[in-house]
Amino acid sequence: MSAPTLQAAPATRPLRTARTRHYAMCPPTHFDVVYAINPWMHPGTPVDVDRALSQWAGLVAVFESLGHRVDVLPPAPGLPDMVFAANGATVVDGRALGASFAHAERRAEADLHAGFLTDLGIEVHRPQHVNEGEGDFAVAGDWLLAGTGFRTSTAAHAEAQELFGRPVVTLHLVDPRFYHLDTCLTVLDDLHGQATVAWYPPAFSAGSQAVVARLFPDALEASEADALAFGLNAVSDGRHVVLPQQAGQLAADLAARGFEPVGVDLSELLAAGGSVKCCTQELRAPRTS
């Protein structure tokens, strides 16, 4: 009897496929650092709004050059963190869970964001519990990964599961420098329904590290230096990964896995503790199947 034929392993790295995305972004017209709600913020730090605006416009141009659609959320005076549009809601399957900010300084952003989404024809569920949108919620395949520890409450995780009908995996954040999930974990693709993530394990509790390792055995680990450069605050379309250009090792590791890293300079926004992903909210369309 001859031995069963084994399927040949792919000789090359996987072919990464981009999917066209729809983003909401808000220009840093009123950007400033006048309060401190994370360890990166030092009120009194001089802020160059023109530089922030041109860096932000560069990010918009990158997304558009990749074929993505960007809708602009109008900025409002007195809300210096509004540029971080990812925090304003979570949009999955064409439905939105509105944000409820942990800190009073940002609370007024939630209604502006909800009104903007409503005008786009997206139904917004008003939240009952504190959640900071895609700062702490990440879609990974059919699941939602959800951070807690500094901002979003676990009650909001349950609220999101009920609204979206997707399993929510709670992950505990333990390092205040990585106060949102999107500062220490990024979803790169959904290849064959199995998501690939990159992350910085020390930002998570021991139990949550074990959960991520179990769900994503291929997860890419970022160095501390790249995590501190906000390298994980990245936006991927499945093929192109837009990330801060300072995260050089991570970019090289992504390329080795078949992704195309696209480095951008958003250094001015680091004074408020944010970068690429913080500026970018994804508007996910209703499911077609």
Where does this chain bind ligand ARG (CB under 6 A)?
37-38, 41, 81, 84, 86-87, 106, 135, 180, 182-183, 272-274, 278
Amino acid at 258: G
Q: Indicate the helix (H) or strand (E) that contains 194.
A: none
- Smallest gap, in angstroms, from Cβ of residue 130 to ligand ARG? 12
Joined together, the tokens standing for residue 57 give: 């416009």
- Tell me whether residue 81 or residue 237 sits nearer to ligand ARG (CB atom): 81
User: Can you spell out the DSSP letters for 199-234?
Assistant: E-GGGB-HHHHHHHHHH-TTPEEPPHHHHHTTTTS-
- Smallest gap, in angstroms, from Cβ of residue 258 to ligand ARG? 26
239-254 burial: b if 16+ Cβ within 10 Å, else e = bbbbbbbbbbebbebb
Please state, as a whole number, how many other Cβ atoms lie within 10 Å of the Cβ of residue 263: 16
- Tell me whether residue 180 or residue 240 sits nearer to ligand ARG (CB atom): 180
Please state, as a whole number, how many other Cβ atoms lie within 10 Å of the Cβ of residue 134: 26
- Smallest gap, in angstroms, from Cβ of residue 12 to ligand ARG? 35
Residue nearest ligand ARG by beta-carbon distance: 278
Q: Side by side, which strands form the sheet with 143-148?
A: 137-140, 143-148, 168-172
- Tell me whether residue 16 or residue 180 sits nearer to ligand ARG (CB atom): 180
23/283 Cα distance (integer angstroms):
6
21: helix, strand or coil: coil
- Smallest gap, in angstroms, from Cβ of residue 107 to ligand ARG? 11
61/66 Cα distance (integer angstroms):
9
- Smallest gap, in angstroms, from Cβ of residue 43 to ligand ARG? 11
Considering 68, 157, 240, 278, which one is annotated as catalytic?
278
145 DSSP β-pair partners:
138, 169
- Tell me whether residue 229 or residue 278 sits nearer to ligand ARG (CB atom): 278
Considering 180, 184, 240, 279, which one is annotated as catalytic?
180
- Smallest gap, in angstroms, from Cβ of residue 241 to ligand ARG? 17
- Tell me whether residue 264 or residue 278 sits nearer to ligand ARG (CB atom): 278
Joined together, the tokens standing for residue 152 give: 């979003």
**Tokens 């972004």, located at residue:** 25
263/277 Cα distance (integer angstroms):
13
On whether the CB atoms of residues 269 and 28 are closer than 8 A, the answer is: yes
Catalytic residue status for 278: yes
155/173 Cα distance (integer angstroms):
16
Spell out the alpha helix ranges (H) of 17-83.
49-65
Catalytic residue status for 42: no
Active site residues: 180, 278
